[in-house]
Chain A
Amino acid sequence: MILKKLKGLFRGFLSVFREYRGETTGMIGLGLIITMLIFALLSPSLAPDTNQKWDNVDRWKDLPSGAPPFWMNYFSGTNKATHQIKNEPSSTSSESVITTMVYDYQFSEDLPPKDVVFYVNGKYEDKAPTLIASLIRPDDERLQLATKSIQGTEGESGYTFETRLSLFGGNQQRRKVYRFAKQYEEGSVPGPSEIDVTRTAFAKTQDGMLSRTEPLNGEYKIELLLVGTGTELTSSRGIFMGRVYGLMGTDGSGHDIARGWLWGARWGFILGLSVAIGTVIIALIFGMTSAYYGGWVDELMQRLNEIIMGIPTLPILVIVATIWGRSIWFVIFIMTLLYWRGIAKTIRARGLQIRQNTYVEAGEALGASGARIIRGHMIPQMLPYAFAEAALMVPMAIIAAAGLHVLGLGDPTVVTWGTMLSEANSAGATIRGMWWWVLLPGLGITLLGFGFISAGMAVERIVNPKMKQE
């Protein structure tokens, strides 16, 4: 019985789809929706540790902040270093108390990495070792940059340690690089706080090294010395932080925008589809009941609908978020509670037409109950309309929810396109020229919205031939 009904529904959809294939914009929209849906479904595996750890600084500290996407290298005149992770040193050697790790780095771009960070893990017996890092340049200049005494945690046999060392991050390193470069500079020089540390460290030694920095390309080596008795190295890793990063770049606090974007697609679908499905169900029941019973029931329900129509959505969303809390589920709940009103009107109007059909009268004559006629005859007829309306609801919900983020009422536990855009707005991404941070999340909203609107309008054109006219 149910199977038969489903089959009938399926056949109905198939016939609509056959016509749908002829709608160019509709097909583009459908393609967009399907692509985005794939992203949304894959986001937990493509971008793990993103949604829950968005506000966790440690999660993002090894990513460069404010880096444009890598493909900018093909468009802008300057070639910038990409992000590179080397999971083991190019060579390791050990001599009495000293373990030496050497990382080779081929610098062939115009701009060097933003910073170089090392993770060194190992263990020691009782005396804490020291880590010394130096940069050996192609011109054989040697810059001893960082020294760190390692603190381990006590275990069963001695101590184990996991240490993080930034080669250019601190003020001490800045002064060292500055002093190194200053000896080549003859004229007036900028102060140490004004220089770009890595650019200077990776520059040609010549007059103007500080003021007119020119890159020195070639083979660089970074030498890490682990000095200590009874010390054993287990692993080390070098991260050369890019000036450009990934497909979509990073934002001002080092979040990978591409990963956030994937979650934005996921939450966009969750929000949009929940609201769309919820509103359409309410609207179908409401509109159909109103159309089927007619008379004073219809009158009363229409007046009720008009009253709900007059309630503004944004203010209700804002005060609910202010007072109940900023959960995305509250947003979905309130939107569902309010947005069905417009759809119910269309559905009632269409329902009034269907009600005139003879098979409804026949059903009544056979003694079928009102609920049964609505369920069995009217609702299946209405489904394509409902689909069209639901599709138009999705962008509306997503845009409104993103707006709440910008107002400062976004759910802090989820990463949406709105989250990223509101962060971009508060951090002044626009006036800092970080266009990728502004453009890409908004493009997500627009593409998904366009997909749903064009699909919805195509279905509407098919089921409502009056709109087809040229």
Chain B
Amino acid sequence: MPARVKYLVFRTFQALIVLGIVILIFSALFNSVSEEQLQTRIRQTVTGRVRNSPELQQLSDEELKEWRENEIEKLRNRWGLNQPVWKRIFMDAWDRMTLDFGKSYMMTAPSGSRQVMDIIMSRLPRTILLFTTAAVIYVFLGLVVGLKAAQVAGGKLDRFLSIFGMTSSSMPMWWLGMLAILVFAYQLGWFPSTAMPLPQTTGLDYYLGVLYRLALPLATIVFNIFGARAWVTRNIVTDVLQDDYIMAARAKGVPERKVIYGHTLRTAAPPVVTSALLSLLMSIGGAMITEVVFNWPGIGLLTRIAILQNDTPVVMGVMFITSAMYIFGYLVADLLYGLLDPRVEVGTSRSMS
């Protein structure tokens, strides 16, 4: 088997193990609450039936007690509460794996469905829109600024970047969002402070309206991340610039432009791309909380609402989808690194993290 295919298979297998572990953690944790909740529900159902049936009320206390016990037993069987714990955890894990997260306690999707998956799917595109747009911008900006700084190491831009990168990455992304609202929405009134309600128009107007609401959260995410991205790029590129063949190229009189964009970038690409993908994954959490601050109706805001309403199935569903995206993204980053850098073999761990 060629080394690359072997690498691909190995990493995919590893990702599947991670996914399995995460699913089991989720199901084991969820099992403890779902048992309590189901028991309450069973008790309520049985009491409700007794109240609504005149025939049952005719029965003597003894008979009624017996009937209730029978009924509870029947329901417990139906909900699977009589199964051993491990079996219930595995059943639950299976549901999760097939993306069946059950029904929400109180929320509905715009289609009227109460399935957690439908609710998530109605909001996921908005999160992806915000997140990927921001990612494209900051990856690009980070690359450009990082390269510029590396060209004149120790220069003004380089020094500024090191401070800026350090400062911006010690700020919570969503806090920057709050400051942005204070300045650009409250003080200057340039942008709306909340993304809701989304525009009701159609066509171009709709897209412009969305863009108008998207501007502040986008700028927040980009501002928070691109400094550190540029700094990482700068470090990788300066590393490569020390290599002998670059020195040789320079000595040979290859134009500086060509040295940077041709020779250097080709060598620097694998770690730059992987670290960009990894920072993308790292920022998922921050971006979800940023949604809360801007009222952007994606899955981050959904999580916040579900937490406030104690809607455990929805919280679990969103968190599972997020985890799955993270694990998948991590796998892609790994594979891409292997693909871009021919030196990678199975078993050699990546030097970056």
Contact = CB atoms under 8 A, between A and B. Distances in A.
A469 B187 contact: no
A467 B239 CA distance: 9
Contact of B315 (A302, A311, A319): A319
Nearest to B331: A310
Contacts, number: 166
B185 interface: yes
B238 A400 contact: no
A313 B171 CA distance: 19
Contacts of B235: 467
A238 B125 CA distance: 58
A446 B304 contact: no
A403 B315 contact: no
Contacts of A430: 178, 181-182, 185-186, 193
Given A25-B163, A438-B179, A314 B170 contact: no
Residue of A302, A323, A324, A346 ringed by the most chain B CB atoms within 10 A: A323
B267 interface: no
Contacts of B185: 430-431
Contacts of A307: 14, 17-18, 21
Nearest to B17: A307
Contacts of B347: 299
Contact of B166 (A299, A306, A457): A457
B279 interface: no
B308 A408 contact: yes
A180 B303 CA distance: 52
Interface in A428-451: 429-433, 435, 438-439, 442, 445-446, 448-450
Interface in B29-82: 29-30, 32-33
A320 B187 contact: no
B286 interface: yes
Interface in B182-236: 182, 185-187, 193-194, 235
A425 B353 contact: no
B27 to A, nearest CB: 10
Interface stretch (B97-105, B134-142, B321-329): B321-329
A409 B307 contact: yes
Would you call the interface of chain B mostly helix, strand, loop, or mixed?
helix
Contacts of B319: 314-315, 318-319
Contacts of A311: 18, 21-22, 323
Contacts of A448: 170
A138 interface: no
- Chain A, interface SS category: helix
Nearest to B193: A431
B175 A421 contact: yes
B331 to A, nearest CB: 8
A453 B170 CA distance: 8
Interface string A277-301: 0000000000000000000000100
Given A349-B351, A403-B285, A319 B29 contact: yes
A323 B293 contact: no
B321 to A, nearest CB: 9
A470 interface: yes
B295 to A, nearest CB: 10
A209 interface: no
Contact of B284 (A302, A314, A433): A314
Given A407-B292, A425-B293, A469-B238, A318 B315 contact: yes
A454 B331 CA distance: 31
Contacts of B315: 318-319, 322
B323 A323 contact: no
Contacts of B323: 311-312, 315-316
A402 interface: yes
B179 A306 contact: no
Given A450-B170, A453-B169, A442 B284 contact: no
B242 interface: yes
B285 A400 contact: yes
A424 interface: yes
6 contacts: A25-B166, A299-B347, A312-B284, A314-B288, A323-B30, A430-B193
Interface of A: 25, 299, 302-303, 306-307, 309-316, 318-320, 322-324, 341-342, 345-346, 349, 395, 399-400, 402-403, 406-409, 421, 424-425, 429-433, 435, 438-439, 442, 445-446, 448-450, 452-454, 457, 467, 469-470
Given A312-B285, A323-B29, A323-B312, 13 more contacts: A302-B349, A310-B15, A312-B284, A312-B323, A314-B322, A315-B22, A315-B320, A318-B315, A407-B304, A408-B304, A425-B292, A435-B182, A442-B171
9 nearest CB pairs, A to B: A449-B170, A314-B285, A310-B18, A315-B319, A442-B175, A312-B326, A430-B181, A408-B307, A470-B154
